[in-house]
Structure 1
Amino acid sequence: MAKNLIILCILLLHFSALTVASEESDEFFSKKISSLQSFKNEKLTHLHFYFHDIVTAKNPTAVRVAEATMTNASSTFFGAVSMMDDPLTVAPELSSKMVGRAQGIYAEMPIVGGSGVFRFARGYAQAKTYSWNPKTGNAVVEYNVYVLHY
């Protein structure tokens, strides 16, 4: 179950398709569904894990791919966008049991969907820095994630 969350947790995966629904829409492109009977039993899941963001190593798990002109002058690196493939563990130590990987882009933290039991999921993540090395930029972040799903 936690591995399915990796796709949705912390990731800013936007599958954007701008469409205008109308009565004349192409039936093969879109179709109005009148009843969603299988969506009645919504559940709330709380997940707790540690996110290991390693930016300075032989094999980093996160790489900055874009930044604003003022990003490096900001103490919070405001304006930075990074790609990541970060390990998620049950405890703050990297050697603790890995429960999944966070893969994608990070700049904000909405939960916008997923796969498996987290299909059509929505929710939010609360992040708290557990440790951060200002010389390397490497960090361990504690997450509490609340996901509504069916």
Structure 2
Amino acid sequence: MEARSMLICIVFACDLIACCHCNYYSKTSPYTPPAQKITHLHFFFHDTISGKSPSAIKVAHPSFPTAFNDTPGPFGSVFVINDPVTVGPEKTSQVIGSAQGVWVSTGQEMLELVVTMDIGFTYGEFNGSSISLMSRNPIALNQRELPIVGGRGKFRMARGFANLTTRFFDHVKGDAMVEYHVTVIHY
């Protein structure tokens, strides 16, 4: 029994010594962030539910009637999106990126979504960069604001806001085109 206790003490001591000599962090040094920049972006977002090549697909829906049951996205529906982002309002306009994420129909009194998406840019000065948005999106209102909660690439540690204006919405099919005016504060 004493040999076993001795072995446990040796293992414990070795673990203690090993932990004292391995750090999961490095020495802290003062951080001086670079100067903040403000970038204004303007683009159009095309959300297409209908047709042979939709950019938004319903992946879950309620199993019983809910609010707005006569719409393509009744309360409780979940959609996954990969929507094109263009320079102009036409679908044929130059594609500069895509918005990928999820939107959930959460409104019971008016059409409302909770949106989580990353708008990644694939063209121009911000190619390879993205901005992330997450918020409630009251789509029944023609104009609304969503917060920028992060980003990557040139928009690393971004924050800001996006002013959205619905330019087209088909109440039967659910297709929409939304104009974005974005103010991004980043380093």
Question: If the length of structure 1 is used for normalisation, what is the TM-score?
Answer: 0.68
Partner of 1:50: 44
Cα 1:43–1:81 change in 2 (3 A) is farther
Cα 1:136–1:146 change in 2 (3 A) is same
**Residue deviations 1:15-68, cap 9 Å, x none?**
xxxxxxxxxxx952x77855222x231011111100000001111101233457
User: 90, 93, 115: which one pairs with 2:152?
Assistant: 115
Moved over 4 A (4+): 30-34, 66-69, 73-80
Partner of 2:171: 134
Corresponding residue pairs, total: 123
Partner of 2:91: 94
> Which sections of structure 2, spanning at least 5 residues, go unmatched?
1-21, 104-113, 115-134, 136-145
Aligned counterparts of 1:124 and 1:88: Cα–Cα separation in 2: 17
Partner of 2:58: 64
Secondary structure class of the residue paired with 1:112: strand
Cα 1:121–1:27 change in 2 (3 A) is farther
**Residue deviations 1:58-91, cap 9 Å, x none?**
1110123345773434989565442210001111
> Which sections of structure 1, spanning at least 5 residues, go unmatched?
1-25
User: 26, 31, 54: which one pairs with 1:36?
Assistant: 31
Pair member with larger Rg = 2
Aligned counterparts of 1:77 and 1:31: Cα–Cα separation in 2: 51
Structure number with the bigger relative contact order (C-alpha 8 A, sep ≥ 6) is: 1
Aligned counterparts of 1:79 and 1:126: Cα–Cα separation in 2: 25
Aligned counterparts of 1:147 and 1:77: Cα–Cα separation in 2: 32
CA contact (8 A) 1:49 1:142 kept: yes
Secondary structure class of the residue paired with 2:68: helix
Alpha-carbon shift at residue 135 of structure 1 (Å): 1.9
Question: If the length of structure 2 is used for normalisation, what is the TM-score?
Answer: 0.56
